[in-house]
Amino acid sequence: MTREDSVRRVRDAEATQRDILDAAITAFAGNGYDGASTRDIGRDAGVDPRLITRYFGSKEALFARAVEETYRHPLMMVPGQNRVVAKALLDDAPLDQAKGLLLTIRSAGNERAVEIMRGHLERHYQRDLAGALPGADAVGRAALLIAVCTGVQMQRNVLRNQALRNTDELVDLLAGALDLIGNG
């Protein structure tokens, strides 16, 4: 780290926090919760690892913030809008979306990380989606829609299933399935 970088960091706590968060997302996506160390995250962010505690409190709190960041742009799978959603699911995922999925998969072996991820999904995405769905058992159907979405993303963007490509026929089939679940 150059003196100029050091001076910039001293004067710009927000940029330092952003650098730490970006490094943490990359580390958690690459190695999962258990495999990512605060020492490595600090090194990759170009900061003293003690700043993680100063700005985020703990590795667990940093992970919770990374989950919040990577889960912040969910697809709203509501009836009538699912063709756009299906098209997005069958396209290559943007890098940030892929990192969120990898962070989830690679951290699933740690029970506390699972609690953090599940809690965030239930309090935010699942609740918002359920609120937008018509009919009975909206919460259960929202959870099912999220599970379908996650499965398609995993098959398409992690396992790279070549049969799942953005074609009109597959987009129509997926949109129809999402609409069916969404309408109840």
26/80 same-domain check: no
How remote is the C-alpha of 25 from its chain's centroid? Answer: 9
Is 79 in the same domain as 7?
A: no
Residue 92 sits in the same domain as residue 23 = no
Q: Which of 165, 144, 146, 145 is nearest to 155 (CA)?
A: 165
The CATH number of whichever domain residue 60 belongs to comes to 1.10.10.60
- What's the pLDDT tens digit per position in 118-165? 999 999 999 999 999 999 999 999 999 999 999 998 999 888 899 998
**Which residue type, as a one-letter code, is found at position 91?**
D
pTM for this model (two decimals): 0.85
- The verdict on 37 and 92 lying in the same domain is no
Please say which residue of 48, 69, 90 terminates a domain. Answer: 69
Number of domain units in the chain = 2
Q: Which residues contact 47 (CB under 8 A, 6 or more apart)?
A: 9, 16, 19, 20
145 in the same domain as 61? no
What number is the average pLDDT over the span 115-120? 96
- Residue-wise burial string across 148-184, b where 16 or more C-beta atoms lie within 10 A, e elsewhere: bbeebbeebbeeeeeebeeeeebbeebbeebbebbee
pLDDT of residue 63: 98
Structural domain that includes position 150: 73-183
Q: Please say if the pLDDT value at position 11 is more than 80.
A: no
Listed residues 69, 89, 124: the one ending a domain: 69
